[in-house]
Amino acid sequence: MATYKTVYKCRACGTTSYKRLMERQASGAWQPTGPYQCCGCRNVFDTLRAWWGEPKGQTDFRPSQMPV
């Protein structure tokens, strides 16, 4: 099973890797189904953002202030 390393880490345990949960399709192939599982605490998250947690105060940036 594939594991992914990121610059982010789990807000619960600090682990920097996660994996996609797989589900067997009718065709017999295994496909990622969406949820992510932390390799450390084994918690399952619907989105990566939920896994690493949203940084506070950085969610309402204005695109016009982004460096070009």
Helix or strand (DSSP H, E) at 45: strand 44-45
Count of residues binding Zn ion (CB under 5 A)?
A: 7
41 is a contact residue toward Zn ion (CB under 5 A): yes
d(CA 13, CA 4) in angstroms, rounded, equals 16
Helix or strand (DSSP H, E) at 48: helix 48-52
44 is a contact residue toward Zn ion (CB under 5 A): no
- The piece of 1-9, 21-29, 32-40, 52-60 that touches Zn ion (CB under 5 A) is 32-40
Point out which residues bind Zn ion (CB under 5 A). Answer: 10, 12-13, 15, 38, 40-41
